[in-house]
Structures are given as structure tokens and as C-alpha cells.
Amino acid sequence: MRAKANRARKTDARIRELDLRAADVTHGIAAPLAFAHRWAPTKRTGQPRYGASYAASCHNRAALTPGNAHVIKGVLLGFACYAAYACSDAFVKLLEGSLPAYEAVFFGAVLALAALPFLKKSGDRWREVVVSKRPGLWLLRALAGAIGNVSAVMAFTALPMAEAFALIFLLPIFVTILSVIFLKEHVGWRRWSAVIVGFLGVLVVLRPGFRQLGPGHAAAIVCGIAGALSIIALRMAGPHEKRITLYGAGVIGPMIAGAVLMLPAFVWPDAHQWFLLLGYGLLAAAGAVLLMLATQNAPANRIAPTQYSQMLWAIVFGYFLFNDTLDWPMLIGIALILGAGLFTFVREEKKTNWWRRTKVVGGAGSA
């Protein structure tokens, strides 16, 4: 009996360890195989490997222990994380294009390195920020990060915050399309319906032919596509890469690209611009750390929907800081895009469990 109890304790400890690994951040999750093994039916009985009694005991422990408090804490930290990301985007918008976008991206990426000491685990090495087990995917994420960050700065500079976020939040729709192309995933009619609804929302927001469109709209859509490519790279990397490596790609790529592209038109920031750049970069770093803390307290798939709270912040900041106005057609279009994106995320998670397999997941402005 004592040996059986010891085995049970070891099993519980191992499951907790795997669940914690599965929740590791960025946008940023590593144990789908262990989860599948835990609940897979055995060949002999056809029942879950650890039995219905074990499942019931887990459920009861979740209901009776402080675990639920940890989940609530994790979700609240998730809201704090995406509030930090939204504030970061507001700081870069406050620059009002006074610095080239490449320069803002460079300094933002340099400052975002401040999160690395908090994301680094005891067994990690600093060289693993740039040394990857799958260099091709690391480079893809670095390139996507560079394009996404530059596009985000251009979009937030040119557009009302809510409108920019609405177009960037096409990201889950683009993930669905790219997963068919690159991952050969089967997408059912529900997700294709969400794709159609999302693009209808874009038409309502943009209203081509009825209002003037500019580079900012194109930049926001490009940012969403770049973010989707980054997520495809994360899904392909799966559990093979460490969190510090995945985060490094998303920071080093924008830093190098920004450094090269800013040289021809470099402008030394004044004191006010330095303040805004510090807010932009350090708040993005704070968002990454908060997301890590959030997913240490709650399952990552509970945290992910909190990213849509950025739209509320965008509306508040837009109204009070930038005098943005949103008409009813734009609000309806935003609702269609957000609803389609959230539905797509839920279906993606249900079908593929991809969020659990990814260690780094970022905000809209941190592609």
C-alpha cells in the first residue's frame, strides 16, 4: 500500500510538472503528448489510463483546493499583461511619427531585452537566446517579428487605436488559412465560416469606396499576417525550443532589422521622445513577464482570450488621449472581427491544442 501511495504521489508530481511546462510562456506550453498519454484509453480496458476515479479526484481537488484561486490570479495577470501591451502601443502612438518607425522598433526591442532575466530558467544558457535547435524556424519568427513590429508602429501612428487593433486581430483568421497551407490541417465549415465573417467585418470597418484608405490600413493587415506566420513557426517548433529562444527570436529580429533600416534617416531622440520610447519598450517587457506569471498560475488556454481586452483599452486610450471617434459601422465591424477571431481561437484550441504546445505567445503589438 505504501509503495502504491508513493507511486501515486510521484504521478501527481509529474503531472503537475508537465502542466506547468504546458503553461510556459511568451504570445508566446509544451506537454501535449504527456496530456494525451495521461488520458489516452488503454488497449486492455478502453478506459483512461489513470481511471475515472483519478479524474474525479482531480476534479474534486480543483474544486476544493486553492487551485481555483491560482486560476483567477492567472487570468487577472493575463488582463494586466495585455493592459501593459496596450499601454506600450499607446506610448508608440504618442510619438506621432516624430521618429522613423524603424528607429522606434529598434529602441523598443533593445528595451524589451529587459524581460530576458525574468524569462530565463536556471538551466538555460544566454547563448540560447540566439542558438536554436531549429534555426530555420527561429529565423522565420525573427523575420515575422521584424515585419510585425514595424507594421504595428506604422499602423498605430496612422490609425485610431481601435481601428488598428481590429485589423491586427485578423491574426487568428490568418492562422487558420496558413495552417491549411503550411501545416496541412483540416479546417471544418465552422472555422471557414468564421474566416468569412472576419473578412466581412474588415469590409465593414474599411468600407472601401466610401472612405479614404491609407498605408496604415495595409500596415495593420500586414502586422496580422506577420503575427500569424510567427504563430505557425511556434506551432512547428512545438516543444523543441526553450522559452528564452522563442522570445529571443521575437526581439532580436526587430532589433537587427530596425538597426539596419534606421541608419539612413536616424534622428537622435529628445528627452520627451526618450520617455515615450522607454514606455514603449519597458511596458512590452513587463507584458512578457506578466504573461509568464499568468501562465504559471492558470492554463494557457484560459489566459489567451484576455488578449481581446486590448480592444477596450484601445477605445479608452483613443477617446481620452487621441480624440478618436468610432461610428456605428466601425463598431459593428470590430465586433464581427473580434467575434470571428475569438471563435476561431476556441475552435483551433479544441481541434489542435496548439496553445498548449507553444511556449511563447505575444500581444498584438509584440508580434
What digits encode the pLDDT tens for the residues 116-168?
A: 999 998 889 999 999 988 899 999 999 999 999 999 999 999 999 999 999 99
Q: What is the mean pLDDT of residues 215-236?
A: 92
Between CA 331 and CA 6 the distance in angstroms is 57
Cα angle 252, 171, 195 (rounded to 5 degrees) comes to 160
Question: Residue 306 — very low, low, confident or very high, per pLDDT cuts 50/70/90?
Answer: confident
Tell how far CA 215 is from the center of its chain.
Answer: 24
| 8 A C-beta contact, residue 321 and residue 90 | yes
| % of the chain surpassing 70 pLDDT | 75
- Identify the CA nearest to 294 among candidates 24, 52, 106: 24
Beta bridge partners of 48: 41
Between CA 43 and CA 62 the distance in angstroms is 28
pTM to 2 decimals? 0.76
Sorted by sequence, the CB contacts under 8 Å of residue 150 that are 6+ apart come out as: 101, 102, 105, 254, 257, 258, 261
Q: What is the mean pLDDT of residues 266-276?
A: 96
Condensed to tens digits (0 to 9), the pLDDT of residues 39-91 reads: 334 444 444 444 444 344 444 444 435 568 888 898 999 999 999 999 999 99
Rg over CA atoms, the chain:
21
